[in-house]
Amino acid sequence: MKKSQMLGAVFACLIVSSFSSHANLLTNASFETPDASSGDVAGSSDWTPYNDVYTNDGAATLTGPAAYDGDQSLKMFDGSGATSFAYQSVAVTPGQAYKLSARVINWAGDPFISLGLMGLTFWDGPDGSNGGAKLGPAYDVYVESTPTPVLHDPSVYLPSAIDGVNGVGWTEISVQGIAPSVTQSASVFLQIIGPSSGALYWDSVTLEAVPIPAAVWLFGSGLLGLVGIARRRKKA
């Protein structure tokens, strides 16, 4: 392959990569099923729950805040006296960077006084924590009801308990990680770490590939310039 053709091919690959899909890899990411309009329902479709995890429709039942996205959210507490969590595993691409984000709230109707966690982990098995070994570090963000020291960063302190009417008061949190070379899947964890008081509510959870940064566009533009120079030299 000629140099100009090679440079053109590399630039084309950069353009294609830059327009990679930003689609959410998670399903039931806003916890719209099952229907909780008549009261809390244990678990949530497409999420694997452990202990006290419920689908909640606060606007309909007054047992939680109005959802940030859609009609429902995920309610989590530790009434069983132990940690409660929910996770979902999805296939991902080795070497790709991923961003995990969500909304979380401290609702005045059941004030949260404890520690919560949202985590992203990569696995060499096809089904997350149910197969294979965990790869590399876990990418975690902790949420607290009061600004006290924690062992892990980054951390987010939730505001004082608020009414949460009409979706107001939801705090956005996010974390990013890169899938190691032998990755087959990633798991998203939502967790409350007991013992605690009150409930933690989650909504609008998103896991998506991180786009190529602007610096790569500059590099690609430079390659395009080299292709033009090579063509002009050939004509001369």
The residue that leads in pLDDT, 150 or 139, is 139
Amino acid type, 71: D
Q: What is the pLDDT of residue 35?
A: 98
Give CA–CA dist 88/25, Å, rounded.
Answer: 10
What DSSP assignment string belongs to the chain?
Answer: --HHHHHHHHHHHHHHHHT-------SSTT---S--TTS-EEBBTTBEEESSEEEE-HHHHSSSPPPSSSS-EEEE--TTSS-EEEEEEEE--TT-EEEEEEEEE-BTTS--EEEEEEEEEEESSTTGGGSS-EEEEEEEEEEESS----SSSSEEEPPSPB--GGGTTPEEEEEEEE--TT--EEEEEEEEEEEEES-EEEEEEEEEEPPPPHHHHHHHHHHHHHHHHHHHHHH-
Per-residue pLDDT averaged across 113-124, rounded? 92
Per cent of the chain over pLDDT 70 is 75
Mean pLDDT in residue range 213-227: 46
pTM of the model: 0.80
Angle at 175 between CA 170 and CA 176, to 5 degrees: 145
Please give the mean pLDDT across all residues of the chain: 82
Sign, Cα dihedral of 175, 181, 186, 191: negative
**Rounded mean pLDDT, 33-56:** 97
- Of 70 and 16, the one with more pLDDT: 70
Sign of the four-CA dihedral 42, 164, 112, 208: positive
The whole-angstrom separation of Cα 174 and Cα 155 is 10
Strand 134-144 and strand 155-157: the pairing is parallel
Q: Tell me, what's the pLDDT at 221? A: 45
Tokens found for residue 78: 């530790």
- Identity of residue 195: P
> 82 pLDDT exceeds 70?
yes
